[in-house]
């Protein structure tokens, strides 16, 4: 544990950043320097560039105490996003709290795919985001595409509250409607009205949950557990979405590693989807599946 608060008279940004990086590295944090930078950015209310432009600036006692407190908590394994209370996602800095899944960079690719389809369609559109979590997908789509209404569905009250908070922060709360719903079951009034269903559902096979890295163990199991084979939510969404989608409406998924063939097979089995496409992430891993209702 870290008990010593650093001496404000001698501890510059450079010194504290070096110290924080070493502590985090010793605590088995995967990206210690990146996290140390984020902690200093929050402590000082500045950008990463400003940290390096003002390397000789001395931290105040309150700033040092903040850094110490965050590092102590981070070394327990608790994700930094929960400690700091926010997470960058695309152009947005989203509120993020325990009990709700932390947005991942891979999910930005799902948003990009959805926005590309919406821009190709043009005009007013209606979208459902299934499993909204923080609202990362719903709020991002509404922020970038001004003619959309997004229905953000989640079974978690904490997720619904966080989606609403983030929608208000970015001024899209009139177009993002958070709804308590198990998959699409709570969206009955939207049958036959959706231009798009988009989802990053839980997709970790249940047997793999216990082996996930310690940070992920702090996240809600219900936001990770995809059933015995990781495909339970895909099955439900693939089966339910046709009655909600307009003709030629789009279904877009984020998927886990090695799941693409199984999800493509599910889409083909239902028999009402065409133009099925698998897209890779930046590491060359199959990450996005899109399909169009025939």
Rounded Cα distance, 225 and 260, in Å? 18
Reported confidence tier of residue 6, pLDDT bands at 50, 70, 90? low
Q: Are 94 and 111 in contact (CB under 8 A)?
A: no
* Whole-number pLDDT of residue 27: 87
Is 114 a residue whose pLDDT tops 90? yes
Mean per-residue pLDDT of the chain: 95
Q: What pLDDT digit, counting tens, does each position of 224-268 carry?
A: 999 999 999 999 999 999 999 999 999 999 999 999 999 999 999
Domain coordinates in residue numbering, the chain: 13-76, 98-293
* Residue at token pair 């999910």: 107
CATH for 98-293?
Answer: 3.40.50.150
The percentage of the chain sitting over the pLDDT mark of 70, rounded to a whole number, equals 97
* Whole-number pLDDT of residue 3: 53
Q: Which residues, 6 or more positions from 18, have their beta carbon under 8 angstroms from its beta carbon?
A: none
Reported confidence tier of residue 14, pLDDT bands at 50, 70, 90? very high
* Whole-number pLDDT of residue 1: 43
Is 129 a residue whose pLDDT tops 80? yes
* Whole-number pLDDT of residue 7: 55
Q: Are 98 and 82 in contact (CB under 8 A)?
A: yes
Strand-by-strand arrangement of the 194-199 sheet:
176-180, 148-154, 125-130, 194-199, 245-254, 286-293, 273-280
Q: Are 203 and 255 in contact (CB under 8 A)?
A: yes
Q: Which residues, 6 or more positions from 26, have their beta carbon under 8 angstroms from its beta carbon?
A: none
Quick one: average pLDDT of 141-150?
Answer: 98
Q: Are 202 and 233 in contact (CB under 8 A)?
A: yes
* Whole-number pLDDT of residue 79: 97
Is 269 a residue whose pLDDT tops 60? yes
> Which of 4-13, 23-32, 81-90: highest mean pLDDT?
81-90
């Amino acid at each position: 544990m870290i008990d010593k608060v650093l001496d404000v008279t001698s501890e510059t940004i450079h010194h504290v950043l070096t110290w924080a990086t070493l502590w985090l590295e010793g605590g088995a944090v995967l990206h210690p320097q990146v996290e140390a930078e984020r902690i200093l950015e929050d402590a000082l209310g500045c950008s990463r560039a400003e940290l390096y432009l003002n390397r000789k600036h001395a931290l105040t006692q309150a700033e040092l105490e903040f850094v110490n407190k965050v590092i102590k908590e981070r070394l327990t394994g608790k994700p930094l996003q929960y400690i700091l209370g926010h997470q960058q996602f695309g152009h947005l800095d989203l509120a993020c709290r325990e009990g709700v899944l932390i947005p991942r960079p891979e999910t930005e690719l799902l948003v990009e795919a959805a926005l590309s389809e919406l821009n190709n369609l043009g005009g007013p559109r209606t979208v459902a985001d299934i499993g909204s979590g923080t609202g990362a997908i719903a709020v991002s789509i509404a922020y970038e595409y001004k003619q959309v209404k997004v229905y953000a569905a989640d079974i978690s009250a904490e997720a619904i509250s966080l989606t609403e908070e983030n929608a208000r922060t970015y001024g899209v709360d009139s177009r993002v409607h958070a709804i308590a719903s198990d998959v699409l079951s709570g969206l009955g009034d939207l049958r036959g009205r959706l231009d798009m269903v988009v989802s990053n559902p839980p997709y970790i096979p249940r047997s793999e949950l216990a082996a996930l890295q310690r940070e992920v163990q702090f996240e809600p199991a219900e936001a990770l557990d995809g059933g015995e084979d990781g495909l339970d939510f895909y099955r439900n969404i693939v089966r339910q979405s046709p009655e909600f989608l307009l003709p030629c409406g789009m279904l877009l998924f984020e998927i886990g590693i090695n799941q693409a063939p199984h999800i493509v097979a599910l889409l083909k089995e239902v028999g009402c989807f065409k133009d099925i496409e698998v897209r890779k992430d930046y590491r060359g891993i199959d990450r996005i599946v899109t399909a169009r209702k025939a």
